[in-house]
Amino acid sequence: MTKKKLLLILCGLSLPLQSMFAARLEVCPSCSYQTIHSALENASDGDQIIIKSGLYREGNIQVTKSVHLLGEGWPVLDGEGQTEILTITARHVLIEGLEIRNVGNSYIEDRAGIRLRNTRFCTIRNNRLVNTFFGIYLEHSADCVISGNEVLGEALEENSSGNAIHCWYCQRLTIRDNQVYRHRDGIYFEFVDNSQIFGNTSKDNLRYGLHFMFSNDDYYYENRFIQNGAGVAVMFSKCIDMDHNIFASNWGRASYGLLLKELTDTDIRNNSFRENTIGIYVEGCSRIDYHHNEFKQNGWALKMSGGCLDNHLQENNFIGNSFDLSTLASAGTENTFDNNYWSEYSGYDLDHNGEGDIPYLPMKLFNQIVQQTPEALILLRSLFIDLLNFSEKVSPVFTPENIRDLHPKMNPYTLNIRS
């Protein structure tokens, strides 16, 4: 046996020893500790505090030691609308199985159900947060995992709501498998780098399901964003890759499935945009690749505003959208559309190579009219507009020639998309 192996075995043997030294402190009305406060006072680093089911009204609880707070049978920590509940400033803290309720709203402080401040290596998992102004609030923290939590807000008005999971100046976070409902933003990232967000469901939030501001090198995948004010907004950021997400049913005047503003160097693939007012709205974005996405039954599949360079759309499915594309005529040379499937395409394929023989022009004349005069939308689906579009298709005069797909597919792609 080599020395190395022996060392490994010794290390393995000593691991259970460590947990033997960790004390178990139980909290319940008939236990040795009646309050979480008293248990925390007597705990030392590495201890486990088991909170038995019951109702605990202890106001704000400061966690300044590296302990595990574990709930058994869903104990309830109630803030009675007065205070923030858990404030964690120690490292290596684990919070699990708690129900946290009723944090009061405040204009001056951003109160939260669970706050992590200047800490690292903490885990918040499988908790239930109900009616907390801000749910889980991380500031100046790194290497934390937030997983399997349910954060249920009661936001009906925007001025009285916080964000479900709010991260500010953080590094290397993992946000996974959470359910966030009825807040201002479901998940909010401001100055957060090198983090991952996956498997979450964000629904019925007033503003955005997920919101990035000034954040770089993050990756989000396999999330669902449903019925939010707008699905996801990515702003003033770099390298935010996104794949296998679902953006659905984001309807409204200022609603988008995905809003991209001043974003660069990003890959957007295998996402599904269904039934949104605008699938993707792009403004001032460069070097973005969109491929293998599905745009289905949106008002506008894609709206591209000024200042967009090097946006490339390839091998996407555009199915049954009222408008496939709305953009400026000058955008054609800087942004490309190639090898996509467009359900509106009515060309032919004489050589049977699967590609249409004539290019598809996604910008219709009516589209341009609506862009200039939004009220003209009322004429959508009228015979007059159909005639207008048809005559324009036969002999294009107004539609920009340079915005076109030279190789439109005859059949939709089979895409690897979550249902």
We find the least distance from the C-beta atom of residue 127 to another protein, in angstroms, to be 24
Is 302 one of the binding residues for another protein (CB under 8 A)?
no
Is 220 one of the binding residues for another protein (CB under 8 A)?
no
Compare residues 97 and 231 and give the one whose CB is closer to another protein: 231
5: number of Cβ within 10 Å: 9
Is 268 one of the binding residues for another protein (CB under 8 A)?
no
Please report which helix (H) or strand (E) contains residue 368, including its range: helix 365-372
Interacting residue with another protein among 281, 323, 341, 342 (CB under 8 A): 281
Is 213 one of the binding residues for another protein (CB under 8 A)?
yes
Interacting residue with another protein among 40, 77, 259, 331 (CB under 8 A): 259
CB 304 within 8 Å of CB 328: yes
Is 133 one of the binding residues for another protein (CB under 8 A)?
no
Report 50-109 residues binding another protein (CB under 8 A).
107
Distance CA(180)–CA(301), nearest Å, equals 26
Distance CA(260)–CA(283), nearest Å, equals 6
Is 254 one of the binding residues for another protein (CB under 8 A)?
yes
Interacting residue with another protein among 3, 4, 5, 253 (CB under 8 A): 253
Which of 178, 34, 38, 153 is closest to 103 using CA atoms? 153
We find the least distance from the C-beta atom of residue 6 to another protein, in angstroms, to be 52
Distance CA(215)–CA(234), nearest Å, equals 9
Compare residues 371 and 389 and give the one whose CB is closer to another protein: 371
CB 196 within 8 Å of CB 174: yes
Compare residues 281 and 295 and give the one whose CB is closer to another protein: 281
Compare residues 133 and 341 and give the one whose CB is closer to another protein: 133
Q: Say how many residues touch another protein, by CB under 8 A.
A: 26
Q: Which two tokens mark 295?
A: 């745009």
Distance CA(155)–CA(182), nearest Å, equals 5
Compare residues 26 and 283 and give the one whose CB is closer to another protein: 283
We find the least distance from the C-beta atom of residue 204 to another protein, in angstroms, to be 13
Question: With the C-alpha atoms ordered 400, 402, 406, 411, is the resulting torsion angle positive or negative?
Answer: negative
CA Rg value for the chain: 26
Is 110 one of the binding residues for another protein (CB under 8 A)?
yes
Tell me, rounded to whole angstroms, the distance of Cα 322 from its chain centroid. 26
We find the least distance from the C-beta atom of residue 158 to another protein, in angstroms, to be 4
We find the least distance from the C-beta atom of residue 277 to another protein, in angstroms, to be 12
Is 252 one of the binding residues for another protein (CB under 8 A)?
yes
Is 235 one of the binding residues for another protein (CB under 8 A)?
yes
Contact region with another protein (CB under 8 A), list: 66-74, 144-152, 252-260, 355-363 = 252-260
Strands (DSSP E) found in 30-177: 48-52, 55-56, 61-63, 68-72, 76-78, 86-88, 94-96, 99-101, 112-117, 123-125, 128-130, 134-139, 145-147, 150-152, 165-171, 174-176
We find the least distance from the C-beta atom of residue 326 to another protein, in angstroms, to be 15
Cα dihedral 248/251/254/255 (nearest 10): 0
Is 365 one of the binding residues for another protein (CB under 8 A)?
no
Is 283 one of the binding residues for another protein (CB under 8 A)?
yes
Report 149-208 residues binding another protein (CB under 8 A).
157-159, 161, 168, 184, 190-191, 206-208
Which of 296, 244, 286 is closest to 266 using CA atoms? 286
Distance CA(193)–CA(202), nearest Å, equals 21
Distance CA(23)–CA(11), nearest Å, equals 21
Interacting residue with another protein among 121, 198, 214, 251 (CB under 8 A): 214
Is 230 one of the binding residues for another protein (CB under 8 A)?
yes
Which chain residues interact with another protein by CB under 8 A? 107, 110, 157-159, 161, 168, 184, 190-191, 206-208, 213-214, 229-230, 233, 235, 252-254, 259, 261, 281, 283
